[in-house]
Amino acid sequence: MDIVRLFKSLGDETRLRLLHLLLHHELNVNELVRIMDMGQSRISRHLKILADSGLLQSRRDGSYIYYTRAGGADLAHLTDFIIQAGGSRQDFAADLEKTQELLDERKHRVKTFFNSLVDDWDLLKQEVLGDFSLKRIVAREAQGANTAADLGCGTGEMLLELGRHAQRVIGVDSSAGMLEKSRQRLSGSGVNADLRLGELEHLPIRNGETDLVVMEMVLRHVAVPLEGIKEVSRVLEPGGRFIMADFDRHDQEEIRYRYGGVWAGFDREQLRQWLQQAGLDLLQLEQHWVQQGLCVNACLAVKPQGPSGKEVFTG
């Protein structure tokens, strides 16, 4: 690490504001332009300086590039100091308030999207996923489960599968319309389902209330994916399992437009990092090719009871 270059990069008020903001959130250039009310070329220049100094890292999502804090223990003390020192600055606080407004808009777009597609969602999923389903993994992992939760339960298809194996089932969705469809589907099925309206970043589930959580083709709709995975970890009891599937990273903007999603998809390494940050051990990751040239990553993770286990990648 070039210490001189690093500290030179911090010798500018705008770059300090950008770094403080990106220590809290992952944002793209257009979002930063809006939050900081500056021109795109100016923002891009400052981002390059911060990235070249090793303070930021970036990842591509479709046609956008998102920036966030760089990893590494050698930067932890410095970035923690900036977060703590920034707590007393009004301009830093104002930046975070504007960012929260932007994140709330992301969530609102997701709700609007799903409420508009309540009657067509199952058909749309079939168009892109074909025969792919997590039901095989769920049937294996849900045997003997006490309380299983389906996050982003949609029209309730997975809730029926969970109800065949778990004693109790919780379904969470941010769309009231989707929850009503789930209620209709489950009516008379004998499944003991507790349907709850809520955000996946703030689950209406108690700490450790579940021993199995499923999130099928939902993570890309979560405004802040890491926060959603951290919530999964919170509601799982030690030893509980997490089953998740979503698109691998792709650049098909028309897919995002037709099937929705704040994000296009996530590569294996990104998922591994998020699971690790949330305190979950990745046990297995399979890749499945589906319709329209897309690939789905299917993960199985566990909330450890003791030392972390080893990762196994398949597919």
DSSP state of 248: P
Distance of CA 49 to the CA centre of its chain: 28
Q: Name which of 57, 41, 50, 66 is nearest 12 in CA terms.
A: 50
What are the pLDDT digits (tens) for 208-265? 999 999 999 999 989 889 999 999 999 999 999 999 999 998 888 777 777 777 888 9
Q: What is residue 126's predicted lDDT score, i.e. its pLDDT?
A: 81
The pTM of the full predicted model, rounded to 2 decimals, is 0.78
Residues 32/21, Cβ–Cβ less than 8 Å: yes
Q: What is residue 307's predicted lDDT score, i.e. its pLDDT?
A: 54
Residues 266/246, Cβ–Cβ less than 8 Å: yes
Q: What is residue 251's predicted lDDT score, i.e. its pLDDT?
A: 84
Tell me whether strands 210-216 and 193-197 are parallel, antiparallel or unpaired. Answer: unpaired
Give 249-293 as a DSSP string.
Answer: P---HHHHHHH--SSS---HHHHHHHHHHTT-EEEEEEEEE-GGG
Q: What is residue 310's predicted lDDT score, i.e. its pLDDT?
A: 42
Residues 200/149, Cβ–Cβ less than 8 Å: no
Q: What is residue 314's predicted lDDT score, i.e. its pLDDT?
A: 40
Q: What is residue 262's predicted lDDT score, i.e. its pLDDT?
A: 84
| Segments in the chain below pLDDT 70 | 1, 73, 117, 306-315
Residue 71 CA to residue 78 CA, distance in Å, equals 12
Read off the tokens for 147: 């309380």
Residues 14/35, Cβ–Cβ less than 8 Å: no
Beta bridge partners of 114: none
Q: What is residue 315's predicted lDDT score, i.e. its pLDDT?
A: 41
